[in-house]
């Protein structure tokens, strides 16, 4: 991954092209389908869905599919700035090709343009997401693991099974487990500490209104829509004036997710939806709904120290095959902070945790970064806040 340092006080430019004058929507749709198909044949992940945007200048096969695509690499901000926890210097995280293509289709003409004669963008993204999951379930896909490890500098020494030849397919590696000691719980003996649910890029907000000011620009983003509940539902009452933590998992991340609190497992609800990319440029796009439109699975957890309900929303995304619950599938199960709840099959994904107002006070550095706004790179078990003292 190419990382480029920048000054944190420099405005983060979300500029995206309004058009690719040399390419039609059909060209882009065909290109996305072709790179997914190519992932079944090529073991090198940087030669298909993970082609870095900067590499498009020299990628003749991609340019032959999508005329003008190399302009993205030259002229536009095709990635995101992220700051590592405990540092003051952010880095630039490049965007893989599939995310850029998905966003271009969504932002420019999603409601107006019919693709390939009969399909809409929403249908195309769903089909490609399902297809990618099937490709990476195939034993043949195990040949891509080494390239993936090398491309993203994945630390195999922290894996429960460090021998990558033992994984039967790519998705089995993608949902890999870590050694029990690989993600220690920070301040484990302090029962007031709330910890990160995932290896991720994190933003936190004391209220939905603050989240919409700095980060989530979807016009329909609110807690009832996120939880798929009518505004008058009694289940919404505990989440009035709720605080939010948004955990974005990039493709390179460890993709099992964990409990941030000591809790009792409650109900689960699955909500069918779309497969939009969860890249920040999509989340930050004015009027574009991602978090409340995508396929998602909602798990309610009873926070044992306060007795309050917390909503844990696992959200699928472009090329994500599935959301699987493991430790969180049996109602009444008691979990400790850091215990596994589930995992995502292939793709970058997001978890949104909705805390009742009186439950959490987020750590100052995370609040400050989120209001810049910039994501903070954290790992499972890192402190993200403390239980708010009782009034």
Cβ atoms 299, 117 nearer than 8 A: no
Q: How confident is the model at residue 43 (pLDDT cuts 50, 70, 90)?
A: confident
- CA-based Rg of the chain, rounded to a whole angstrom? 20
pLDDT at 59 over 70: no
Which of the following is catalytic: 38, 47, 48, 258?
Answer: 258
- Taking alpha carbons only, the member of 199, 174, 177 closest to residue 344 is 174
Q: How far apart are CA 96 and CA 324, in angstroms?
A: 24
Residue with tokens 């440029």: 281
pTM: 0.87
Residue span(s) of the chain under CATH 2.70.70.10 come to: 179-387
Sequence-distant (6+) residues with CB within 8 A of 157 are none
Which residue did the predictor score with more confidence, 361 or 17?
361
More reliable by pLDDT, 183 or 108 = 183
How far, in whole angstroms, is CA 279 from its chain's centroid? 7
Q: What percent of the chain clears pLDDT 90, i.e. is strictly above it?
A: 45
Question: pLDDT grade, residue 142 (50/70/90)?
Answer: very high
- Phi and psi at 117, nearest 5°, equal 90, -40
Tokens linked to 74: 């030259």
Mean pLDDT of the chain: 83
Tens-place pLDDT, residues 279-331: 776 777 777 778 888 889 999 999 999 999 999 999 987 776 578 899 877 89
Class level of CATH domain 179-387: mainly beta
Residue 180 has pLDDT above 70, yes or no: yes
Residue ranges of alpha helices (H) inside 187-296 are 208-214, 223-226, 280-283
Is pLDDT above 80 for 173? yes
> Are 317 and 280 within 8 A, CB to CB?
no
Residue 59 or residue 5, greater confidence: 59
pLDDT of residue 242 exceeding 50, the answer is: yes
Indicate if 199 belongs to the active site. yes
Residue 359 Cα to chain centre, angstroms: 24
pLDDT of res. 75: 58
pLDDT computed for residue 57 by the predictor: 57
- Could you tell me the two tokens for 383? 């402190």
Which listed residue (122, 199, 339, 363) is catalytic?
Answer: 199
Q: Which residue has the tokens 């964990």?
A: 258
For position 5, what pLDDT does the model report? Answer: 35
Pair 30, 43: CB distance under 8 Å: no
Give the bridge partners for 300, in sequence order.
Answer: 311
| Pairwise pLDDT comparison (264 vs 282), residue with the higher score | 264
Nearest to 53 by CA among 100, 18, 105: 100
Q: Quick check: is 349 catalytic?
A: yes
Q: What is the pLDDT of residue 161?
A: 98
Residue 382 — pLDDT band, cuts 50, 70, 90? Answer: very high
Predicted local confidence at residue 360, as pLDDT: 93
pLDDT for 386: 95
Q: Is the peptide bond before 373 cis (omega within 30 degrees of 0)?
A: yes
Q: What is the mean pLDDT of residues 50-58?
A: 65
pLDDT > 50? residue 204: yes
**Is the alpha carbon torsion for 253, 344, 36, 24 positive or negative?**
negative
Among 111-125, 161-175, 199-213, the minimum mean pLDDT is found in: 111-125
pLDDT in tens, 322-357: 788 998 778 999 999 999 999 988 766 899 999 998
Overall average pLDDT of the 137-166 stretch: 94
Confidence at 11, pLDDT banded by 50, 70, 90: very low
Is 27 in the active site? no
Which of the two residues, 27 and 227, has the higher pLDDT score?
227
What is the spatial distance between Cα 20 and Cα 386, in angstroms, rounded to a whole number?
47
C-alpha dihedral over 370, 196, 216, 290, to 10 degrees? 150
Residue 182: pLDDT band (50, 70, 90) is very high
Q: What is the pLDDT of residue 35?
A: 81
What pLDDT, on a 0 to 100 scale, did the predictor assign at position 31? 80
């Amino acid at each position: 991954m190419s990382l480029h340092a920048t000054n944190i006080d420099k405005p983060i430019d979300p500029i995206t092209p309004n058009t690719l004058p040399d390419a039609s929507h059909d060209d882009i749709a065909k290109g996305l389908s072709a790179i997914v198909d190519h992932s079944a044949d090529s073991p090198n992940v940087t030669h298909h869905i993970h082609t870095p945007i900067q590499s498009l200048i020299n990628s003749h096969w991609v340019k032959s599919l999508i005329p003008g695509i190399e302009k993205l690499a030259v002229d536009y901000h095709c990635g995101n700035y992220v700051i590592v926890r405990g540092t003051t210097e952010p880095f630039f995280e490049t965007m893989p090709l599939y995310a850029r293509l998905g966003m271009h289709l969504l932002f420019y003409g999603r409601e107006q343009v019919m693709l390939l004669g009969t399909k809409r963008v929403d249908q195309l993204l769903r089909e490609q997401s399902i297809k990618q999951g099937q490709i990476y379930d195939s034993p043949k896909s195990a040949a891509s693991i080494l390239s993936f490890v090398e491309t993203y500098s994945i630390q195999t020494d922290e894996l429960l099974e460090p021998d990558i030849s033992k994984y039967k397919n790519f998705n089995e590696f993608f949902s890999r487990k870590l050694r029990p000691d690989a993600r220690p719980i920070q301040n484990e003996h302090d029962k007031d500490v709330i910890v990160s649910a995932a290896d991720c890029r994190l933003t936190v907000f004391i209220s939905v209104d603050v989240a919409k000011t700095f980060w989530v620009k979807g016009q329909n983003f609110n807690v009832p829509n996120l939880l798929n509940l009518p505004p008058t539902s009694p289940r919404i009452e505990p989440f009035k004036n709720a605080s939010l933590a948004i955990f974005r998992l990039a493709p390179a991340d460890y993709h099992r997710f964990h409990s941030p609190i000591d809790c009792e497992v409650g109900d689960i609800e699955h909500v069918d939806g779309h497969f939009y990319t969860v890249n920040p440029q999509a989340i930050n796009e004015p009027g574009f709904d991602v978090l409340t439109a995508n396929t998602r699975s909602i798990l309610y957890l009873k926070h044992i120290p306060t007795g309050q309900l917390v909503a844990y929303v696992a959200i699928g995304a472009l090329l994500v095959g599935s959301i699987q619950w493991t430790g969180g599938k049996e109602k009444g199960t008691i979990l400790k902070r850091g215990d596994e709840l589930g995992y995502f099959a292939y793709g970058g994904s997001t978890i949104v945790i909705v805390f009742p107002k009186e439950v959490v006070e987020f750590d100052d550095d995370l609040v400050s970064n989120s209001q810049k706004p910039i994501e903070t790179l954290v790992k499972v078990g890192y402190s993200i806040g403390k239980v708010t003292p009782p009034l």
